[in-house]
Amino acid sequence: MVLFDHDDDKPREECGVFGIYGNHEASLLTALGLHALQHRGQEACGMITFDGKRFPSERHLGMVGEHFGGDLRTRLPGHAAIGHNRYSTQGRTMLRNVQPIFADLAGGGFAVAHNGNLTNSRKLRHDLVKDGAIFQSTMDTEVILHLVARSTGKNFLDRLVDALQKIEGGYALVGLTGKKLIGARDPVGLRPLILGKLGEAYVLASETCALDIIGAEFVREVDNGEIVVISDKGVESYRFAAKRPTSPCVFEYVYFARPDSIMQGRSIYEVRRRMGHQLAAETPAEADVIVPVPDSGVPAALGFSEASGIPFQMGIIRNHYVGRTFIQPTQTGRQSAVSKKHSPNRAVLEGKRVILVDDSIVRGNTSKKIVQMVRDAGAKEIHFRSASPPIVNPDFYGIDMAAKSELFAAIHTHEEMTNELKVDSLGFLSVPGLYKAIGEPERNAMQPQFSDHCFTGDYPTLLVDNEHAESDKERQLSLLDDA
């Protein structure tokens, strides 16, 4: 089993998907694509191919590079493949919960993987089990498979549309049959999915960085509420939901996407640099040096330095050879985890007024340890800056922020956060400032351009499972009162 340091103050990755149709090195190219998307999920990886007759598959706990190498083309032959990097949001980390998953349906084999979270999967699962369905995993992905299998649609596409119209939430889905590679994106467009081309082959992926690594060209983003079907006929497009403005998760810009990726025609790196510009304008401080919390705070710190004129320095060095799977066996070891991953550059910090810039603050645990480390290295003053607004609401779409009680900014006032972090000042980017940095003059309150619920509480879909959970909790409390 792969264990993770749950004191890590970063939002957990969402998962990454990749698919390719029309290249006899499909498995090798999928492995490369998954490698480029490794930042989106590091607990497990899986791949299924189609060789004209069979659907060879491999699923593993751990990183892509640990498992998908060597004689991959022999182990996973075929001209089409789908792959997945996992971070678990629903379903524990165990082999049976690794995607893609596969089933023999009435019309033939079907493999599926998705990035995101369904907000009504528990209700659907309950109804399916009550009706006789047998589940092999605890993943919400398997709900999609059962819905397709039980649909009475005339053909596979009709059955898939029927299934997608029953689910709520945010997702980017890739599927594989004996004749088709399929991609689908949720009606809101919360999770990203792009279409690319490599020679005569077509590619689906979570981010453009996965196209770059295999030398494929970007064609377009899959639209929200759209299904793309790739076969020997080329690419066909269908809608399963009414057309509406896309509203992608703003955390793709804040943290999740790789800096060299492009989303909605925007460079992620440039957006994050502009977040630093805006942060400097909104939360200035007198200091000697700007120091990023590596690695995700680097672009915003550069922007802060450019806008403020205060020198940028690498005052914290990250050890890239301590992976996110580092296991701490004791409480003492867990408390020293930050020193394993980050080391202070005393020559930069000692005697200086330091502005620490990070992309966000979620639980606050790592931020406290980073501040203490910088203080111990001799910093005279520490001013902490977050390049995103305060996270005050949980997420239900695939980010590991589902409990408000764990969110630092939700349970503390600004003064309390400043005291808890033990910093001289604390500043966050504003919601209007975030929109301005992304390239939007202002937020449209009636139809927000991005799903920013973690900051604003405006959820873009029904939260069926959450509402049922709250109802169950209320019923249980009522029973206790009656007793």
Which residues participate in the annotated binding site for Mg(2+)?
296, 358-359
Cα gap 5→262, rounded to integer Å: 30
Cα gap 13→398, rounded to integer Å: 8
Nearest CA among 102, 80, 97 for reference residue 20: 80
Strand 342-344 relative to strand 201-205, pairing: unpaired
Interhelix angle 431-438/268-282, nearest 10 degrees:
140
What does the DSSP assignment read for 123-160?
HHHHHHHHTT---SSS-THHHHHHHHHH---SSHHHHH
What does the DSSP assignment read for 425-447?
EEEE--HHHHHHHHT-SS--SSS
Chain centroid to CA 286: how far?
35
Buried b (16+ CB within 10 A) or exposed e, 46-58: bbbbbbeeebbbb
Chain centroid to CA 406: how far?
19
Q: Which token pair is 100? A: 């893609």
Residue with tokens 């080391």: 343
Does 15 participate in catalysis according to the annotation?
yes
Q: Which residues are catalytic?
A: 15
